[in-house]
Chain A
Amino acid sequence: MSSLTESRSVTGRQGGRRMPRLFGEVGPALPAFLLIVFFFVAPVVALLLRSVLEPVPGLQNYETLLGSATYIGVFANTFIVSTVVTAAALAIGFPVAWALVVMPMTWSRIVFAILILSMWTNLLARTYAWMVLLQRTGLINKMLMAVGLTDEPLTLVNNLTGVTIGMTYIMLPFVILPLYGVISNIDKAVLRAAALCGANRWQALTRVLLPLAAPGMAAGGLMVFVMSLGYFVTPALLGGTSNMMLAELIAQLVQSLTDWGLGSAAAFVLLLSTLVLYGLMLKFFGTSRLGGQ
C-alpha cells in the first residue's frame, strides 16, 4: 500500500501540472480507443442502420428474412450444425480434457503440443485437408470401404455432414482447453472422498466429476456454439450451395447480390444472437461461481 501512494507522488510530480492526472492515465489507451470506435463501432453501427434504411426506411428487410422459407432454412441449417458441432465437441472434448489432467506429464505435453499446433495452423490449410480427405475418392471413404462399413463411397463433402466434421475438428481445442482448466482445478481429494464414500467409478463420474465440470462444459459449449453460428470459411468450402449457413448468406447477399439492406439485416440477426448468448454466459458465470474455489 505504501509503495502505491509513494509511486503516485513520484509520477504525479512529473506529469501532474500540465495535463490532468486522468488524461495521463487514460491517454495511452486513446489510439486503441479511436481505432476501435472509428473502424469497428462506427462501421458496425452504420451497417445496422442500413438494414432499416435500405432500400427504403422500414423493417421490410427483416420481414423478408423471417418470412421466406429459403432464409428460414439457412437459419435452421446454422442452428442445427452449431448444435451438433457443440454436442460433438463436448462429448469428445470432455474425456480428452480429463485425460490431460490425469495422464503423466510427458504424454499430456505431446497432446497439448498437437492441440496448439492444430489450433494455430492456417484455417484454410486445415479445411483444404478435410476437402481432400472427405471427397468421394478420399482417404476416409477408402478406409470406410476397406473395413466394410459401406460398399459405396459416401458423399461426405459439399453437404452439412462435411461442414459438421470440419467444424467439430476446428472447435475441439476451444472446448478442451477451458475444460482442462476447470478439471485441473478440481481437488482430487474430493474424488477420493467420493470413492471412500462407496461411489464406484461410474457413480463418481456422474454424481461428482461431471457436475463439478459442468460450469466449464457450459462455458466452453456456449463459446463453441456462438463461434459456430458465425463461421464462414469452413461451411463455405466444405458445404454445398444448397445448404448454406448464415455467414455465407450474409457474404453472398452483400458481395454477389449487393443487396445491402437484406445482408445487413442478416448480419444484425447474427450479431444479436451472438450478443444475447454472450450476455447469458456473463450472467451465468459472472454472478454465481459454481464449483467453489
Chain B
Amino acid sequence: MLLDFDRLGWWRWALGGFTAAVAAFLLLPIVFIAALSFGSSQWLIFPPPSWTTRWYSELFADQRWLDAALNSLKIGLVVTVLSVVIGLAASFALVRGRFRGRETLKALFLTPMILPVVVLAVALYAFFLRLGINGTMTGFVIAHLLVALPFSILALTTALEGFDKSIEDAAILCGASPFEAKMRVTLPGISAGLFSAAIFSFLTSWDEVVLAIFMASPTLQTLPVRIWSTLRQDLTPVVASVSTLLVLVTIVLMLLVALIRKGLSKP
C-alpha cells in the first residue's frame, strides 16, 4: 500500500509536501540568479530596490566575456564532432565485436567519467606542460574530449544495443555495401542516440570547469574559467547575468533532447 498513492492516507500529503519543498530547494538557486541578474543592487541585495538590464549591457560590452564565450563555443563544437565520431566507432566495436575483454575495454572508456576530475586535471596539466600544448586550443579540446567521450559512448552503445542488427543485414543482402548499409540504415535508426551523444558532449565541454582552470592561459580562457576567476575576486551581478544565459542554454538543449526523443519514439 506504500506504493499506492491514493491509499497512503495523510502520508501522501507529507510525502507530497516534502517533495514540493525539495523541488523548490532545487529550483531556488536557478530562479534566484535569474531574478538577481535584473536587480539593480551592486551588492546583490534581495529583493532588489529596482530592476535593470545594466548587467547584461556590461556583459555584452566587455570583449573579454565575449571572447571567452566564443572560445567555449569553438571548443565545444570541435569536441562534439570528435566525441560523436570517435564514440560511434568505439560503440560499434563495443556492441558488435565478439572479442575478449570487451567489457574491460568499455570500463576503461568510461573511467574518465567516474574518477575525480581534479586528478585528471593535475595529470593532464603536467603532461601538457611537457608537450607544450598547455593553454592552447588543442590542449582544451583533448582535455574536454576525455570527459565528453564517456557520455557519448554511453548514449551510443545503448542506442546500438537497441537497434536490431538484422535490419542492417537485410540492407546488405539487398545489395548495399556494409558501409552504405551503416550510413543509410543504421545511423538513421539510432539518430536519437546520436543527438543525445552530441548534446551531452557539447554540454559537458561547455560547462567544464576543473580541467579548464588548469588548462587556461591569460590569452585563452573559456567561459567557465572567466566566471571562476571573476568569482574569486568578487560577486559582481554580471556573473548573475552570465549564469542566467547559461541556464537558458541548458534549458534549450534539454528541451531539444526531450523533443528529439519524443519525435523519434513516434513511428
Number of B interface residues in the complex (CB < 8 A): 95
Instruction: Say which residue of B22, B119, B145, B146 sits within 8 Å of A230 (CB atoms).
Output: B119
Instruction: Give the docked Cα–Cα distance between A244 and B209 (Å).
Output: 19
Q: Mark A17-31, 1 if CB is under 8 A from B, else 0.
A: 000001001111111
CB <8 Å contact, A99 and B18: yes
Q: Looking at chain A, what size class is its interface with the partner chain?
A: 35 or more
**In the bound complex, do residue B169 and residue A209 qualify as a contact, i.e. CB atoms below 8 Å apart?**
no
Across-interface contacts of B4 in A (CB, < 8 A):
102, 188, 191-192
Q: Is A96 an interface residue (CB 8 A)?
A: yes
Most buried by B among A41, A99, A100: A99
- CB contact between A138 and one of B30, B46, B123, B153 (< 8 Å): that residue: B46
**B1 contacts A46, C-beta separation under 8 Å:** no
A122–B243 contact, CB under 8 A?
A: yes
Q: By the criterion CB–CB under 8 Å, are B214 and A255 in contact?
A: yes
The interface stretch among B5-13, B60-68, B187-195 is B5-13
* Contact, CB under 8 Å: B44 / A132: yes
- CB nearest to B24 among chain A residues: A114
Residue of B nearest to A42 (CB): B127
Q: Quick one: closest A residue to B152, CB to CB?
A: A32
Question: Of B1, B15, B120, B231, which is within 8 A of A204 by CB?
Answer: B1
Chain A residues touching B, majority SS: helix
- Separation of A226 and B126 alpha carbons in the complex (Å): 24
Contacts of A42 in B (CB 8 A): 127
User: Would you list which residues of chain B between 1 and 48 have a CB under 8 Å from chain A?
Assistant: 1-5, 8-9, 11-12, 15-16, 18-19, 22-23, 25-30, 32-33, 36, 43-46
Cβ contacts under 8 Å, A104 to chain B: 5
CB-contacts of B211-241 with A (<8 A): 213-214, 224, 227-228, 231-232, 235, 239-240
Contact yes or no, A229 B1, CB < 8 A: no
Asked, given contacts A44-B123, A232-B118, whether A95 binds B146 with beta carbons under 8 Å apart, the answer is no
Q: Which of B50-58, B171-179, B259-267 contacts A (4 or more CB under 8 A)?
A: B171-179
B118-142 to A contact mask, C-beta < 8 Å, 1/0? 1111111111000000000000001
Q: Would A15 and B90 count as touching, CB distance under 8 A?
A: no
Q: Which residues of A contact B2 (CB under 8 A)?
A: 98, 102, 191, 194, 201, 204-205, 208-209
In contact, A35 and B86 (Cβ under 8 angstroms): yes
**A131: B residues at CB distance < 8 A:** 231, 235
Asked whether B146 lies within 8 Å of A35 as measured between CB atoms, the reply is yes
The answer to whether B99 touches A26, judged by C-beta atoms less than 8 angstroms apart, is yes
Q: State which of B45, B93, B224, B239 has its C-beta within 8 Å of the C-beta of A137.
A: B45
Q: How far is the CA of A92 from the CA of B23 in the complex (A)?
A: 11
- For the complex with contacts A188-B4, A232-B210, 8 further pairs of A-B residues with Cβ separation under 8 Å are A35-B86, A99-B16, A115-B26, A122-B207, A135-B235, A137-B43, A205-B2, A274-B116
- The list of the 3 closest CB pairs from A to B, nearest first, reads A230-B116, A129-B29, A125-B243
